Amino acid sequence: MSDVVLVSVDGPIARITINRPEKLNALNSSVVAALSKAFSDLEENANVRVAILAGAGEKAFAAGADIAEMADYGTEQARHFARNGHMLGERIEHARFPVIARVQGFALGGGCELAMACDLIYAGEKARFGQPEVALGVIPGFGGTQRLARRVGVGKCRELVFRGHIIDGAEAERIRLVDGLFTQDELVAKVDEIALQLAAHAPIAVSQAKRVMRAGHDVPLPVANELEVQAFGLCFGTEDQKTGMRAFVVDPKAPRKFAGK
């Protein structure tokens, strides 16, 4: 694994860290490629049930795409870079396990887009979010014009993209860009706690719920509902469903251990 992205697995929890703190974890082509490989490799690890994506240091999740690398791009180079960023976002969205973005510090431009590709975003009180690309003569290129609208609504997306201004964690939580806001001291422990809660649930059920929510978002409601029906039925062919429901009948409060089968 490249040293610009660090990966560790502790039981069911994978941790992926963008490791360029001296550059505020800016996303260059090497980082994008290394992140894509990290998620591809984790997909093959059956023990992984949740992943936490973070940036090294305290100043940034990812302050954006690496402007120094992009400054001299031509049209086709820029399109290639954007496509790779979109492929990374899709890889995260299609991962069989939930991915949590843990944001402390800046998540701007490509960093904000990377966080939005994750299933959940939790931030520290010093976090800052924004899509300031128009101030540099470009537009968001890693999905910002699309995922931001889906998270916060088209109107707020237009305001953030057109004005290019940066918002704090409290405002990001208010508009539902962020799913939860914690103090800087609490952030790591709280996200670990949430990750463990997710990992304790039946992994096939969680994976199917993620798949159906993703696939059903942009199709007509009857089609989306049928996706849910099919996935609901599939769950009843798993050992996890038998374990969970039979244990609940005996003692609703008893802890349950799911094998992922």
Q: What is the model's pLDDT at position 116?
A: 98
Q: Are strands 166-168 and 128-130 parallel, antiparallel or unpaired?
A: antiparallel
Q: What is the model's pLDDT at position 261?
A: 87
User: Measuring CA to CA, which residue among 18, 106, 13, 27 is closest to residue 59?
Assistant: 106
Residue 176 has pLDDT above 60, yes or no: yes
58, 113, 125, 193: which is the annotated catalytic residue? 113
For residue 16, the tally of other CB atoms under 10 A from its CB is: 22
CB of 181 closer than 8 Å to CB of 191 = no
Residue 193 CB contacts under 8 Å (≥ 6 apart), including other chains = none
In this predicted model, what pLDDT tens digit does every residue of 36-80 receive, in sequence order?
Answer: 999 999 999 999 999 999 999 999 999 999 999 999 999 999 999
Q: What separation, in Å, do the N-terminal and C-terminal C-alpha atoms of the chain show?
A: 30
In this predicted model, what pLDDT tens digit does every residue of 221-252 receive, in sequence order?
Answer: 999 999 999 999 999 999 999 999 998 998 88
- Is 133 noted as a catalytic residue in this protein? yes
User: 115 vs 33, 68, 167, 177, CA distance in Å?
Assistant: 16, 22, 15, 10
Question: Residue written as tokens 């978002």?
Answer: 217
Q: Tell me which H or E stretch contains 184.
A: helix 184-199
User: Measuring CA to CA, which residue among 111, 112, 128, 127 is closest to residue 186?
Assistant: 127
22, 44, 125, 133: which is the annotated catalytic residue? 133
Helix/strand/coil for 160 = helix
Report the predicted TM-score, pTM, of the whole model to 2 decimal places.
0.95
Tell me the one-letter amino acid at 160: L
The CA-CA-CA angle for residues 220, 225, 212, to 5°, reads 95
User: Measuring CA to CA, which residue among 156, 114, 118, 160 is closest to residue 139?
Assistant: 160
Spatial separation of the C-alpha atoms in residues 208 and 228, rounded to whole Å: 9
Percentage of the chain modeled with pLDDT above 70: 100
In this predicted model, what pLDDT tens digit does every residue of 72-120 receive, in sequence order?
Answer: 999 999 999 999 999 999 999 999 999 999 999 999 999 999 999 999 9
Q: What is the model's pLDDT at position 181?
A: 98
Buried b (16+ CB within 10 A) or exposed e, 98-133: bbbbbbbbbbbbbbbbbbbbbbbbbbbbbbbbbbbb
**Domain architecture of the chain: domains with CATH:** 5-199 (3.90.226.10), 203-250 (1.10.12.10)
Q: What is the model's pLDDT at position 256?
A: 83
- Is 76 noted as a catalytic residue in this protein? no
Q: What is the model's pLDDT at position 160?
A: 97
